[in-house]
Chain A
């Protein structure tokens, strides 16, 4: 790593020190993160959910889409830890498999938003002028569509499926990343090390991606961490409405949809998928909060 540091040290002046500094910095940040028990707890829970998602075939005791007519809407028991649903499917296994869909939708949609938002924001903040105005006006219009309504509109055109829901959520989150990146790029482009890079003849593309981007990476990472829970909840909402994952696929949203019809007879059907969304979203938010504090350059 010979990227310039947030302190504004140009790499041309300190090529030997840079790798050490960034390693030290990372260690310092990790320590700061580790000092916050709730943030660490959040991170551990997130990692646990990732492991559950990856290990679903081995962890889940039953096939999540296997119906069993002899075990319809059975209350939680030792055979079915979380009970069974209206088709006799094991709720525990479905919650476990649902982790995959939620993680996938949450992470992929934020990656889509980053892939579109960062380049647009960089270009907008770096070049300013007419291009900036144009991108900003489009972003304004984009933001005027409420997140869920934009997603619903897109799914009306694209048709309901997990991939389309992920895409729609990603596009819904994108303007946040455009605005954030643009604001950061605007202030960073005036920094000495960017001016220095320009002086030694670096091209615009090189400056944007080698000098500006690494220095604005921290706030973007924090935004990504807190956008994932929003995306996970959005996927659950779309699936709940029948606009995302289609049955019989085990998604937490579709599970809650069928649970809503049996609140009187089988309330357990509603407890677990919702609790899973809540815990995962809370864990991401806790980790994101800790990350925000650990990466805040103002506290150096």
Chain B
């Protein structure tokens, strides 16, 4: 049977098939050159039309709620606050005054029609839900008022997620990408890039989803007798969590390999005690029973970095390296980014210098080093940014580091902030060479922050590696709220590195622990010998950051079957342990370097065993456990036992604590949504 004129082949080419059906067709296609060509043609046609159609303009939507909201932010939600708007505030008294005068004038036989017009003009918006609207304009407005009423319901002070001037068709294009064709959206800014007709796409799509994630494996239990030490590098990145939020928001579960448990846990800040003055961070250990396996225990390792306020924050030299290539034009990319930078600029001042390097096909310095107090100048430069062109990341990185070096502040903050969707497609494009370039630059004591944006062609794996090798942190900005978390409230944490190459090594006491499993940090594991090797790179910790890791441990009195190696012939396998430490579960050792130092320092603290029940553990402990469980469920990690998302939500609810930023509530919502998606897909 030929597939040549079969709707199935079209469905296959459009990425509509999955499972065995897709496999079967793929097999047939692989066998036949003719079919391959056909698939290629269908994809080409599809790409051509979807690109072309994405350029259709969307109608201006005036006089409705969303525009009002965009202008004024969330305060519009509350009708009470609505009255506080200058227009209404002044409008009302003026209107009353005018009506009063007019009514009096009317009594003196003034034409009444003018009164109607005037009151309509002034009351137009606020009168909507009153008597039947008499004017067309009001009619158009009335549904908006209803939105407002419906949305109003609860007035809160929390800032809404960002309202940004939308590029609506582009936004939709992005939705489109998620849903089917995940081709490179370089064409979005094509007015600037390629003004001429461009009827045939220059690059045929080679794959549908160009998002890339590295395979991340799950850690297994390890016998203490085989390997008493566990060593890993800390990780304060949070990108994986915001990326998950994006997936869930779009109604799908995240791709398994995009879920990194440690980044989920570290997305939240925990109330660990502040460090003593002579140390950059505090250590916080806690143990309780494990909710995943009966009889097992869970140990939490928590670090908290020193806190700075704006007065004690050292001077800074910040170079933004912004990707303005065509693929950055979606409304959740460049516009969101510029908004976020603006909010950051507001937090900076006289002692801070900002430069902006952009890169697309070529790279350039669009804002020479400028004092952050000169806000107008910076905002002007930001407003002039336009997306267009292909991405030459390599050249931009060179220029950014050069600029940072020329303005180096001794003893201050020197940082390059790279913002991109990571789709480097011109110049130094191979991941390896980009990483080497960054690694080389990192030696100059200039730190790197990587901000990931957008979707569809988002290169998570490249960006995470760049941040790791560039002595830096990595965040994914999916909403303005998130952008403000990273560049606003969390700015000091993003900017100030208080310790670098932070490594954690845990030594387990074999009299108490027979096996352990590190939860997450799978791609952060280090060789035990790397712990004392100062040339080995590891994670950084920023001001006020908390870093949390969990070990699930199997006490010696619990029966457990683990595959083991055969008895050794020449070594003694059963080791007798000193009895003086029998009440200790483990010893935590932390190695770190001062931000500009090259010799590491060592902290060491032991954890005494305790029989605390999970339910009695601290809120932070239980909440972090809920988050870890959630991530493990998303990863289909078998070590979760039979815990369900419902239990995750219950634990999270009971451990929410003060939740000053609303992040924990949001987590519960997301977990609820994930549960619904899971249930639906199981049906």
Q: Do A and B come from one complex?
A: no
